[in-house]
Amino acid sequence: MTKTYKTYISDNLVYACKHALAVLSRSDNCFNLNGESLSEIVCQKGSGLKMLESKRKDLSVIIPTHNEANVIFQMVSETARVLEASFADYEIVVVNDGSTDSTADEIERAASNFKNVLVLNIPENIGKGNALMRGFWESSGDVVCFIDADLDLHPSHITSFLSLMKENNADCVIGSKRHPLSKLDYPFHRKIFSSIYYMFTRVLFNLPVKDTQTGIKLFKRELLEKTFPRILCKQYAMDLELLAVAHRLGFSILEAPINLTFQGKFGRIKWSDIRNIIIDTLAVFYRTYFLKYYDSPMLPPSKHEPSASIIIPTKSIDRYALECLSKCSHLDYSNFDIWLVPDENTQLNTKIEHIQNLHIEPSGKVGPSAKRNIAVRKSNSEILGFIDSDAWPDALWLKNAASYFKDRKVAAVCGPALTPPEDSIRQRAGGLVYTSSLVSANTTFRYAPRAMREVDDYPSCNLLVRRSELDSQCAFPEEFWPGEDTVLCLKLTKEKGKKILYVPNVTVFHHRRPLFIPHLRQVFSYARHRGFFVKKFPETSRKLKYFVPSIFVIWLVIGLALSFVFKPLLYAFLGVLGFYLLMCAFSSVKSLEPLVNLYIFPGIILTNITYGIGFILGLLSRRMSDS
């Protein structure tokens, strides 16, 4: 590729170009647009620029940047100079992570001055880990280098790292500030933090490295293709998680010396940063040794992108629906449309009128099932992605899910619905209540990432279904809500004999009902329908875990009454109750924020009682309304 150009063309032309490129790649013909080959054209779609090129490079250098206007042009210049001197076939992928200064302009200036520069513009800041991941999936190099944009580490390190990788047949070469040959111009307080974190991670993981955080790393592509689908930390502990997973999967890691010159951009480390680093690091430890999460077989994002429709039922276009639409429009996927189904035909909000392939289908005042069915009948896509209007998808939601639809036995793919970190304290506490096994039993994977598995029942807030497996007229039973997704999953698994795969990186973020009243109303509604479904759909609902809260409520009432009649039973009753409260207290410690934990403790108890009562009422009901 001799130069990078921006071209703004319609979706249909993008798809046509992709097919044309595939044909041309199998011939000796040369096709040019304005003097440039088709593979050199870059088009803007969704969140940024994507290169329409299938040819593998020898080396990809990925530079994440956020508000680096003062240095990014020089960084790209230096990188291009180093690579041009040593490599014939390379690319530089610059990921602009939601910069608010003139970084984007400086990157475009660099792209127009230097060849082989690919620019990926992400409209809002998603964090360094996310940016690296997005940049990697857009890259094509057999060897991939991650390097920070601040020029603390000069790109000339890449050449020496490649030599070390070849000499030692290493899968990964990482820069290390603690290497005896490293030369550092580095603040003393940073050295202290680095040493403390090293000792902390050494105790937890026993990794064969002394520094996981230095901003230059070189990988063989195979390593990243196998580790990145398993990575959950996208910000604070991403480097550690990446290396821990690579080590667990048997890849070799080599440390290399560096010359680090501090450029003076380090800010003051805040308590919130330290807290988040600790939380993420402990989460990696828990997933590694307790959940065995990283041992799950997981596929990389699909390079083939079958047509997909995102279906969003909503009463009105409120702030959550606007957020959902905005996030959906920025998905890293080229072949999808969005179906929004509100009650009434309202004037298009200026915040979403620019969204391509958005269809708005007013439904009148009907339930979510009917709304989804309206969109199902309208859509012709191969995959239908169902999401609630108060949720929003991860950028790789569709791409990660599409990989698993290659198996024709898979009818649906689902994943966790995480609580957004920006939610209020009471919302976050409500979300953490659901992650307690005292509340969700063995279904905590619905609310936090867990190992891959097959499931037979899953909520429609994060459910992607193969279009050919649905009844085109009535995919969801319209007489039920909630619970309509239970009936759909029952048809897919029991009647059709297909699989529903839970994949932990097929992620959405779901705003929770705050504790206490809104949360408990939702729990009561779920419980009442589940109790009714025990009689109507016993295949997936007549399970012990759904009866336990009701048994607990009955035990509370009968046990308390008998304790007043037979005094010896009082001590036994109080002993068992005390043990239950102790388990609730232990299960409520889920955050480094004490106030959140204080909400979780009564939240677990009240959720159990509310669910138990609602389940009993559902069992006793002869019919169930759709509201």
- Per the structure, the complete domain to which residue 589 belongs is given by 538-620
Percent of the chain at pLDDT exceeding 90: 64
Q: At what angle do helices 567-587 and 544-565 cross, to 10 degrees?
A: 140
The helix or strand, by DSSP H or E, that contains position 221, with its residue range, turns out to be: helix 221-227
The helix or strand, by DSSP H or E, that contains position 259, with its residue range, turns out to be: strand 259-261
* Amino acid 277: pLDDT: 85
Asked whether the predicted pLDDT for residue 31 surpasses 50, the reply is: no
User: Are 289 and 313 found together in one domain?
Assistant: no
User: Are 159 and 248 found together in one domain?
Assistant: yes
Neighbours of 147 (CB within 10 A): 25
Question: What pTM, to 2 d.p., does this model score?
Answer: 0.82
Terminal Cα-to-Cα distance of the chain (whole angstroms):
58
Residue 433 is assigned to a structural domain of this protein: no
The two beta strands, 36-37 and 32-33, are: antiparallel
Half-sphere exposure in the Cβ direction for 161 (13 Å, CA): 33
- Residues 6+ positions from 190 with CB-CB distance below 8 Å: 266
Q: What is the pLDDT of residues 375-425, one digit of tens each?
A: 999 999 999 999 999 999 998 999 999 999 999 999 999 999 999 989 999
CA–CA separation, 392 vs 394, rounded Å?
Answer: 7
* Amino acid 626: pLDDT: 44
Asked whether the predicted pLDDT for residue 227 surpasses 90, the reply is: yes
Residue 566: band (very low, low, confident or very high) from pLDDT cuts 50, 70, 90: confident
Asked whether the predicted pLDDT for residue 18 surpasses 50, the reply is: no
Residue 24 is assigned to a structural domain of this protein: no
User: Are 193 and 271 found together in one domain?
Assistant: yes
Token pair in block for residue 143: 């060897």
Token pair in block for residue 282: 């402990």
Residue 452 is assigned to a structural domain of this protein: no
Asked whether the predicted pLDDT for residue 5 surpasses 60, the reply is: no
The helix or strand, by DSSP H or E, that contains position 410, with its residue range, turns out to be: strand 410-414
* Amino acid 440: pLDDT: 95
Residue 20 is assigned to a structural domain of this protein: no
Q: What is the pLDDT of residues 146-156, one digit of tens each?
A: 999 999 999 99
* Amino acid 348: pLDDT: 55
Residue 171: band (very low, low, confident or very high) from pLDDT cuts 50, 70, 90: very high
User: Are 506 and 579 found together in one domain?
Assistant: no
Q: Where are the strands (E) in 428-467, listed by range? A: 453-455, 462-466
User: Are 361 and 247 found together in one domain?
Assistant: no
Asked whether the predicted pLDDT for residue 624 surpasses 80, the reply is: no
Query: Which comes out higher in pLDDT, residue 57 or 24?
Result: 57
Cα–Cα nearest to 550, from 601, 591, 598, 611: 611
- Residues 6+ positions from 203 with CB-CB distance below 8 Å: none
Residue 356: band (very low, low, confident or very high) from pLDDT cuts 50, 70, 90: confident
Q: Where are the strands (E) in 2-148, listed by range? A: 5-7, 32-33, 36-37, 41-45, 48-51, 57-65, 90-97, 117-122, 141-147
Residue 449 is assigned to a structural domain of this protein: no
Query: Per the structure, how many domains does the chain have?
Result: 3
* Amino acid 372: pLDDT: 94
Q: What is the pLDDT of residues 530-565, one digit of tens each?
A: 999 998 888 888 999 999 999 999 999 999 888 888
Q: Using alpha carbons only, give the angle 284, 148, 260 rounded to the nearest 5 degrees.
A: 100
* Amino acid 246: pLDDT: 96
User: Are 212 and 269 found together in one domain?
Assistant: yes
CA–CA separation, 62 vs 210, rounded Å?
Answer: 23
- Residues 6+ positions from 231 with CB-CB distance below 8 Å: 129, 133, 238, 241, 242, 245, 505
CA–CA separation, 216 vs 357, rounded Å?
Answer: 39
Q: What are phi and psi of 501, to 5 degrees?
A: -100, 130
Query: Which comes out higher in pLDDT, residue 170 or 235?
Result: 170
Residue 281 is assigned to a structural domain of this protein: yes
- Examine the fold and report which residue of 245, 271, 295 is the final residue of a domain before the chain moves on: 295
Instruction: Compute the average pLDDT of residues 272-283.
Output: 83
User: Are 542 and 400 found together in one domain?
Assistant: no
Asked whether the predicted pLDDT for residue 94 surpasses 70, the reply is: yes
* Amino acid 347: pLDDT: 59
CATH number at residue 471: 3.90.550.10
Mean of all residue pLDDT scores within the chain: 85
Instruction: Compute the average pLDDT of residues 308-324.
Output: 94
Q: Please classify residue 29 by burial: count the beta carbons closer than 10 Å to its beta carbon, then call 0-12 exposed, 13-18 middle and 19+ buried.
A: exposed
Asked whether the predicted pLDDT for residue 242 surpasses 80, the reply is: yes
User: Are 66 and 165 found together in one domain?
Assistant: yes
Q: How far is CA 412 from the centre of its chain?
A: 18
Secondary structure, 3-state, 146-199: EECCCCCECCCHHHHHHHHHHHHCCCEEEECCCCCCCEEECCHHHHHHHHHHHH
* Amino acid 616: pLDDT: 96
Q: Which of 87-101, 268-282, 457-471 has the lowest mean pLDDT?
A: 268-282
User: Are 263 and 383 found together in one domain?
Assistant: no
- Residues 6+ positions from 139 with CB-CB distance below 8 Å: 57, 60, 62, 91, 93, 118
User: Are 364 and 315 found together in one domain?
Assistant: yes
Q: Residue 363 is which amino acid? A: S
Residue 44 is assigned to a structural domain of this protein: no
Residue 191: band (very low, low, confident or very high) from pLDDT cuts 50, 70, 90: confident
Q: What are phi and psi of 60, to 5 degrees?
A: -120, 130
Residue 552 is assigned to a structural domain of this protein: yes
Percent of the chain at pLDDT exceeding 70: 87
CA–CA separation, 292 vs 286, rounded Å?
Answer: 8
- Examine the fold and report which residue of 272, 295, 318 is the final residue of a domain before the chain moves on: 295
CA–CA separation, 134 vs 94, rounded Å?
Answer: 11
Cα dihedral across residues 196, 199, 205, 206: positive or negative: positive
* Amino acid 539: pLDDT: 86
User: Are 290 and 378 found together in one domain?
Assistant: no
User: Are 284 and 363 found together in one domain?
Assistant: no
Q: Are 258 and 147 in contact (CB under 8 A)?
A: no
Cα–Cα nearest to 346, from 334, 333, 363: 363
Q: Are 142 and 57 in contact (CB under 8 A)?
A: yes
Q: Where are the strands (E) in 467-577, listed by range? A: 499-502, 508-510
